[in-house]
Chain A
């Protein structure tokens, strides 16, 4: 009797272990802070992530079925829109900000340059609805998906329901975005003691820790806060950032501190994409800081870097490039869904 019970318990353990093995789609890298996203409210599954991936690349999310999330968040450029200072959307309309690079979103609490969005799940509603981006309503996205050939089946696999809702659609997109973790750059392998910096990179890292890391805090390379980094106001945009959301003067000209991971690919830089090269950015911090009442306290004292030091600092920033992330086939256009092989 006892023996049977033991066998039963053992089988139970195996089953649980197997289940766990199956459901790990997200892990916090060693020595990283705890993720902010509450996975218990949207437990990851292979089917939901796959559906989210399809939706991320789905142009039906836009009014005239031309623009997908990937249009402005291309994997090969760290999930952002390069070459344009301000990102363009539907009918070549131009927005007012530079699209942010998407990675490590599970750690973020507020989204957008001004933090207007309070949860990853509702983030996608903003670009879907924005007249310069996708100019569509989530209601009609759901209707279009429902009428399509592939989506009722994909939603059934993911949520056990062929009836598509806004909740399912947005949760699936979140799931895919949560898997976009970049933690395998040279910097990361040095931190894990699996490789070493060159002398130049090491010097750059020391300069980084001295001058940059209080806002671009390791390991996410952002403190996730809103700061005024001394950019002169662009009068053609009159973008005061966070103040528009909080209506507080103390938030004037503050924007979310962006991550520097994969910064090699995520040009142009700043909320309005005014700088094309990393050297322009360093020039800003060393020479062009505009003082104003809300200027970040870290920038009150000038940052002084020699031209050699700037080169070293950039050498360090390039160690934040994560090729495994940029070229990970799991994140790319889901050919298997959109372009199924003809049956032989």
Chain B
């Protein structure tokens, strides 16, 4: 008798779960890298800088984590296991699918640019956090939060390359940034990241290589967090 009851109970829960699943909606968080008004195209396009310099961008990759929706500063939804590698060379990576409950009211989205310290000390992880993604420092443990590479004649380096690998999770060189943006509705969100503002502030003849946690990395990470805006 009891056994039958258990089966019925289980079926009931399965049913509930299914109806719940059906009532969720999928929304897209779309990242659009730009250089001023121009769309960012890796490798081919040349972009002008304010000092007469012109640059090419060859790689742009960054981690977006802990995505949350807020309504009047109150968190109303959080993504679980929220770690996404956004890579300008992969169109699918720039469209993050979020499964959210329907009809939520919110006016802000908040996410981290980078990977928090807890994850940084948790050993090896999979998916977008797998060290094969090229966003993990091998000689000193820690994730690279933001990677920007390219070329400029101003760089007196091998092949005129510049490399900005920004990361670091330990104080005083914690590079993680929290970004909050105002939104109207959570159903389709497009976030522009404008690299022109960043590149105009960097003198590539002097600063063209950051590849370890440092005060410079923290400074640039703060600047980068201000490049994000809602389209």
Binding site for B on A (CB under 8 A): 38, 41-42, 116-122, 125-126, 128-130, 137-139, 142, 165-168, 170-171, 174, 245, 247
Contact call A167/B126, Cβ cutoff below 8 A: yes
Interface members, chain B 87-139 (any A CB < 8 Å) = 120-126, 130-134, 136, 138-139
Q: Complex formed: what's the CA distance from A170 to B122 in Å?
A: 13
Contact call B132/A138, Cβ cutoff below 8 A: yes
> Residue A128 contacts which of B120, B125, B130, B138 (CB distance < 8 angstroms)?
B138
Q: Is B226 an interface residue (CB 8 A)?
A: no
Q: Complex formed: what's the CA distance from A118 to B143 in Å?
A: 12
Q: Complex formed: what's the CA distance from A165 to B136 in Å?
A: 14
With contact pairs A41-B123, A167-B124, A170-B124 given, residues A125 and B138 touching in the complex (Cβ less than 8 Å): yes
Contacts of A247 in B (CB 8 A): 173, 214
Contacts of A119 in B (CB 8 A): 121-124, 141
Q: Complex formed: what's the CA distance from A171 to B122 in Å?
A: 12
Considering the complex of A and B, which 3 residue pairs feature the smallest CB-CB distances, nearest first? A121-B123, A166-B132, A129-B138
> Residue A116 contacts which of B120, B123, B125, B139 (CB distance < 8 angstroms)?
B139
With contact pairs A120-B123, A121-B123, A167-B126 given, residues A129 and B139 touching in the complex (Cβ less than 8 Å): yes
Contact call B140/A125, Cβ cutoff below 8 A: no
> Residue B136 contacts which of A41, A125, A168 (CB distance < 8 angstroms)?
A125
Known: A122-B136, A165-B132. 10 other contacts (CB 8 A): A116-B140, A118-B121, A119-B122, A122-B131, A126-B139, A138-B132, A166-B130, A166-B131, A170-B124, A170-B131
In the complex, the chain B residue whose C-beta lies closest to that of A127 is B138
Which of B122, B126, B132, B173 has the most chain A CB within a 10 Å cutoff?
B132
CB distance from B76 to the nearest CB of A (A): 30
Q: Complex formed: what's the CA distance from A299 to B228 in Å?
A: 54
Q: Complex formed: what's the CA distance from A121 to B138 in Å?
A: 11
Q: Complex formed: what's the CA distance from A336 to B140 in Å?
A: 35
Contact call B132/A41, Cβ cutoff below 8 A: no
Contacts of A245 in B (CB 8 A): 140
Contacts of B141 in A (CB 8 A): 116-119, 122
Q: Complex formed: what's the CA distance from A166 to B138 in Å?
A: 13
What are 6 sample pairs from A and B whose C-beta atoms fall under 8 A apart?
A125-B138, A129-B139, A138-B132, A167-B130, A171-B124, A245-B140
Contact call A41/B122, Cβ cutoff below 8 A: yes
Contacts of B131 in A (CB 8 A): 122, 125, 138, 166-167, 170
CB distance from A132 to the nearest CB of B (A): 11
Contacts of B121 in A (CB 8 A): 118-119
Contact call B138/A165, Cβ cutoff below 8 A: no
Contacts of B122 in A (CB 8 A): 41, 119
In the complex, the chain B residue whose C-beta lies closest to that of A128 is B138
Which of A117, A118, A137 has the most chain B CB within a 10 Å cutoff?
A118
Contacts of B124 in A (CB 8 A): 119, 121-122, 166-167, 170-171, 174
Contacts of A125 in B (CB 8 A): 131, 136, 138
Contacts of B214 in A (CB 8 A): 247
Contact call B123/A142, Cβ cutoff below 8 A: no
In the complex, the chain A residue whose C-beta lies closest to that of B142 is A118
Q: Complex formed: what's the CA distance from A117 to B138 in Å?
A: 8
